[in-house]
Amino acid sequence: MSEQSLLVDTDDRGIARLTLNRPEVRNALDDELIHGLTEEFHRLDRDPAVVAIVVTGAGDHFSAGADLKSVRRMAVSSLQENIDYVAELAEMLKVYANLGKPTLSMVRGATVGSGFGLVAASDLAVAAEDSYFALPEVKIGIIPGVISPYILAAIGQRRGRRYFITGERFSAAEAHRIGLVHQVVPAGQLEEAAAQMIGHFHDYTGRN
């Protein structure tokens, strides 16, 4: 993976920030980025200096979901190659959802498909008012199967079915109302709101 596709920084409080750094494609998740996230989640979970993990996107968007090149390749790939791709995404989300440290998604702009799933798999999420969410997979004839357990856990089966079936886009305010994100703030206050939420994180050694 290009080292610039995923930026990782840990501050002196032990807060690790992972920034999806593919702004030219709205931080879409390709195979290499998915693999890189999995490796970093494992590494950070093992690191005793890390207290909590924040995931965000570079530029104007959180993540547009699956990279279009990956989606197009699936149409001509073998069954086993497609199974391997989906298994890697599933593993990344499973690792993230089961980390032994608190996680927070800091969201702005587009949060779509597997990017939506990443937010749903986090412990906490704060979003800018101008962010939006969608599960458009139905529009190309597939279902969001890998991410669905995390979405259903976050917003419930009834609401999940709606967005799985319609593929419609909805606002940050609606995401807050249905429980996908915990706080919505003006875009200029996103960093401050995330910092305040992170301030509640602490480890069991008493460090704040």
- Active centre residues (catalytic): 137
Residue 159, both tokens: 């609401």
Half-sphere exposure of 144 (CA within 13 A, CB side): 30
Backbone angles phi and psi of 71, in degrees to 5: -65, -45
The runs of H, that is alpha helices, within the chain are: 31-46, 68-76, 79-97, 114-121, 148-155, 157-166, 172-177, 190-198
Backbone angles phi and psi of 63, in degrees to 5: -165, 135
Q: What's the CA angle centered on 158, arms 157 and 160, to 5 degrees?
A: 60
194 contacts 185 by C-beta, under 8 angstroms? no
For the chain, first and last CA: distance in Å?
Answer: 34
